[in-house]
Structure 1
Amino acid sequence: MTVSWGRRLASSFLAALTVAVVTHAASMFLFFVSQQYQAATLSQVSEFYFFATLFSVVLLFVFALVGAFRRWYTAIIAGVVTGIIACLAGSGLTTVLGGFALDAATISFLWGTFLSLNGVYVIVLAILAATIGRAIYNRAIAFRTAQNPIERRIALVRMPAGNLADGQLTHVERTTVDTELADTQWDGYVSALEKNGWTTREVGFADTMADSVFVEDTLVLLGDTAVVTRAGTESRRAETDGAEETARDLGLHIERIMSPGTLEGGDVLKVGSTVYVGRSSRTNAEGIRQLRAIAAPLGYHVVAVPVTRALHLKTTMTALPDGTILGHPDLVDDPAFFPHFLAVPEREGVAVVVLSENTVLMSSSAPATAALLEDRGYTVVSVDISEFEKLEGCVTCLSVRVR
């Protein structure tokens, strides 16, 4: 479901108003402290910032409406631009209303205020836009969705870390990863989800966690229950913190895989009420046992599947909306184990993200498989994820779909 304009308007206004008001109050407090707690400072500074704050509400509202609060870096940019424009406009209006001419000397003075009063305002506004503003906007956007599971189509995504190229490898040799291209490809992946009716929610950026972009490994969704996983490698276990926080924000019930169990989301493939779980190098028997105990009361049947030729189960197979299992014979240990198995011509073609009953998203590295699926009546949305494929990633790895 695409988020309604009414919800966007309300979320944008709430975030903009909160950021502007808190910035106003925080700036007043900072100068109150710097002036040795002189009470007169409060009214003077508040009056100085009055119009700037009004302009900030309007500008932040516009930025939020076009999606600037969806990512932390765009929120910072929006905050800086808003702060500069709002301070110039607000200070200029205050100057004119005070009876001063808006001449060259006055304009020069206004620019000079960015070294003091207005500079503080801009910095505070940018920080709050990227933190409080972004949090309020995202939670407000998701609030009604979380209350109505029928309408919910949210994809959790996570920006690539700065050290993406250092991601772990198990079954492929390391090759050079173009991180700038990876960032561009990630943007294209997110855009493809959004263009096909999914609302994306960013899990907190983890710049030092190389594999964190593969957010699917952190959560397993079973209806309204989010199972927080436990990675098979120690270095990836901190990735779940941000994912769990986002799942809580969506109102999902939280369960966990506990030590000594290990389970990664890439090893879990749901087909109706059947949950296939890969017994791989990352998911152990105890992790499968714990997931089975969580899933059974929710109406799911867990089936363990051996995975020895690839990193995760879903790098060997995924399922079409009609339940057909897609897989490549070189990757699947025993294709006969699965009903309705369809062998695909390319290894990159085993992974699809189901966008709707008639539409799937897949890697552009598998054109022959795309043609095969189109011949079966599906609309195929292709995205380039070549840099993530170098790290044993696929289209499913880059998001967690909440339905």
Structure 2
Amino acid sequence: MLVSLLAFFIGSGQSPQVLGQVFGHFALAAFIAWVLLSVTNAVGATRAWYLTLITGFASGCLAALLATFASASAAGNPFSGAILLFVVGSLVSLNLIFIIAIVVGEILLAPRVLRGILEYAPPAADRRLALVRIPASNLDEALVTHRERQPVDLALADQQWDNYCAALVAEGWETIEVDAAPELADSVFVEDTVVMFGDLAVLASPGAESRRPEVEAVERAVRSVPGLTVARIALPGTLDGGDVLKVGSTVYVGASERTNAEGIRQLRALLTPHRYTVVAVPITKALHLKSAATALPDGTIIGDPALLDVASLFPRFLPVTEPEGVAVLELSRRSLLMSSSAPETAAMIASLGYRVVTIDIGEFEKLEGCVTCLSVQVR
């Protein structure tokens, strides 16, 4: 509206009178355009530049037509063919600069404004929930792919799991136990079955066929949490939650033995309307992406370069020397949970200003597990 008023002010020889004559017209047109753009942008019009171009042009034209017709009617002009021609003709005369301004604003400003609203809007609820699942009675039969199998002490594993849950509770997290699955050896690694993106829960499609029955009980647990929307990855797409690393609005997804191209494609389709960018990361030297790298709260990726095919995909990367030190679980913006098997890495991260809580999960590490695998955070 201001651009149009300025153009008319200059075009009329800088006469102040023109401002009063056209202010009401352009104020109405701007209001109509704002309503139209608010609705269309909310349903995804800013997903691509060509959509913003079409949306801006259509909204600008429609707003201009309606405002011009209203202005003509308010001036006492009855509807006629001449008035119709005047209203339509105004698109390339009276309203041309207004339409151009709407199109330019929609293309350049609307995506940034909407992204800012989504990033800085306060959460609907202050949730600190963590889904966990008690180890199966046949935990020692869990799948192992990138390390030699070692005997697992089931009693010690149960104790370590109890301590893990207690650490979460001590840090202010409420744990929700997914129904036990005594016959599903890998079920304690609940992270692989669902991934949270705010209020959106995406049920995974495990790459290992033996793990697919784990999802049913996890879905029941997720649906018991108020306010969540549930989606899923469907076969032939496969996706393990351990391959999904979230850093702000960027989602890194490991293209691994457990997560295939179709699974990544489906996740990208689900997340694009929510303003996430999905970046695929080749993973051939580890079970999952988060077996090789995780993220600090400030967005820095920490990981073992020997386990990553392409570390250069991460804009900020901090290498660690201990394989068990690649995994950190964010307890808060200032606190992290780590394995006690990586004391040097824990000390390094503490030196960066974080409070580090360490816990022994050695029996799960024998099965390629880490601190992120044993829970799913719902914030």
In the alignment, what sits opposite 2:292? 316
The residue type equivalent to 1:162 in the other structure is: S
Structure 1 residue 229: Cα displacement = 0.7
Counterpart in the other structure of 1:89: none
Report sequence identity in percent.
Answer: 61
TM-score for the superposition, normalised by structure 2: 0.67
Among residues 334, 338, 342, which one is paired with 2:318 in the alignment? Answer: 342
Given residue 165 of structure 2, which amino acid in structure 1 is its aligned partner?
Answer: V
AA of the residue aligned to 2:240? E
User: 1:189-217: per-residue Cα shift (whole Å, max 9, x none)?
Assistant: 00000100111100000000000000000
| Counterpart check, 1:379 vs 2:355 | yes
| Partner AA of 2:264 in structure 1 | I
Match of 1:239 in 2: 214
Counterparts of 1:286-325 in structure 2, within 5 Å, are 286-325=262-301
1:176 paired with 2:176, answer: no
Q: Residues of 1 paired with 2:124 and 2:147: CA distance?
A: 39
Aligned amino acid, residue 156 of structure 2: L
Radius of gyration: which is bigger?
2
> Which residue in 2 is equivalent to 1:283?
259
Distance in 1 (alpha carbons) for counterparts of 2:321 and 2:258: 27
Aligned equivalent of 1:120: none
**Is 2:238 the partner of 1:262?**
yes
| 2:178 equivalent in structure 1 | 203
The amino acid of 2:202's aligned partner reads V
| Partner residue, 2:168 | 193
User: Which of 193, 200, 224 lines up with 1:249 in the alignment?
Assistant: 224
C-alpha distance in structure 1 between counterparts of 2:203 and 2:313, whole Å: 28
Query: Match of 1:373, as an amino acid?
Result: I
State the alpha-carbon separation in 2 of the partners of residues 402 and 361 from structure 1. Answer: 16
Corresponding residue for 1:224?
199
Query: Is 2:120 the partner of 1:155?
Result: no
Alignment partners' CA distance in 1, 2:204 and 2:362: 26
Structure 2 CA distance, aligned partners of 1:335 and 1:275? 15
Shift of 1:275: 0.4
Deviations 1:111-134 (Å, cap 9, x if unpaired)? Answer: xxxxxxxxxxxxxxxxxxxxxxxx
* Counterpart selection for 2:343 from 353, 363, 367: 367
* Residue deviations 1:70-114 (CA, integer Å, cap 9, x gap): xxxxxxxxxxxxxxxxxxxxxxxxxxxxxxxxxxxxxxxxxxxxx
Instruction: Measure how far apart 1:149 and its partner are.
Output: 4.0
- Tell me the equivalent position of 1:132: none
Verify: 1:215 aligned to 2:172, yes or no: no
In the alignment, structure 2 segments of 5+ residues that lack a partner are 1-122
Deviations along 1:174-198, one digit per CA (max 9) or x if unpaired, are 0100010000000000000010011
Residue type of the alignment partner of 1:152: R
Match of 2:80 in 1: none
Q: How far off is 1:334 after superposition?
A: 1.6
TM superposition shift of 1:338: 0.7
Amino acid at match of 2:291: T
Q: Counterpart of 2:286 in 1: which secondary structure?
A: coil
- Residue 345 of structure 1, CA deviation: 1.7
- Provide the rounded CA distance (Å) in 2 between the counterparts of 1:378 and 1:302: 27
- The number of residues matched between the two structures is 256
On the 8 A contact 2:337/2:358 being kept in 1, the answer is: yes
Alignment of 1:82-101 (within 5 A): none
CA distance in 2, matches of 1:310, 1:298: 29
Q: Name the counterpart of 2:329.
A: 353
Question: 1:331 is matched with which residue?
Answer: 307
What is the rounded CA distance, in whole Å, between the counterparts of 2:337 and 2:131 in structure 1? 15
Equivalent residue number for residue 390 of structure 1: 366
Instruction: Report the alpha carbon displacement of residue 150 of structure 1 after superposing the two structures with TM.
Output: 3.1
* Structure with more of its chain in helix, by fraction: 1
Distance in structure 2 (CA, Å) of the matches to 1:300 and 1:153: 22
The 10-residue stretch of structure 1 (336-345 or 289-298) with the greater mean CA deviation from structure 2 = 336-345
Q: SS of 1:150's equivalent? A: coil
CA positional deviation for 1:339: 1.1
1:402 Cα deviation after fit? 0.5
| Alpha-carbon distance between aligned partners in 2 of 1:188 and 1:345, rounded to the nearest angstrom | 26
Structure 1 residue 398 displacement after superposition: 0.2
Matched residue type, 2:281: V
| Structure 1 unmatched ranges of 5 or more | 1-147
Could you tell me how far 1:378 is from its partner in structure 2? 0.5
Question: Which residue matches 2:141?
Answer: 166
Give the distance between the partners of 2:198 and 2:344, measured in 1 at CA: 33
Match of 2:100 in 1: none
Deviations 1:219-251 (CA, angstroms, capped at 9, x unpaired): 011111111111101110000011110110003
Give secondary structure in 2 for the equivalent of 1:151.
Answer: coil
- What SS does structure 2 have at the residue aligned with 1:348? helix
For 2:5, the equivalent position in structure 1 comes to none
8 Å contact 2:327–2:372 — kept in the other structure? yes
Q: Following TM superposition, where does structure 1 have runs of at least 4 consecutive aligned residues deviating by more than 3 angstroms? A: none
Q: 1:391 Cα deviation (Å)?
A: 0.2
The alpha-carbon distance between structure 1 residues 188 and 149, as it changes in their structure 2 partners (threshold 3 A), is farther
Letter in 1 for 2:247: V
Structure-2 residue corresponding to 1:33: none
For residues 361 and 378 of structure 1, the distance between their equivalents in structure 2, rounded to whole angstroms, comes to: 10
2:191 maps to amino acid: E
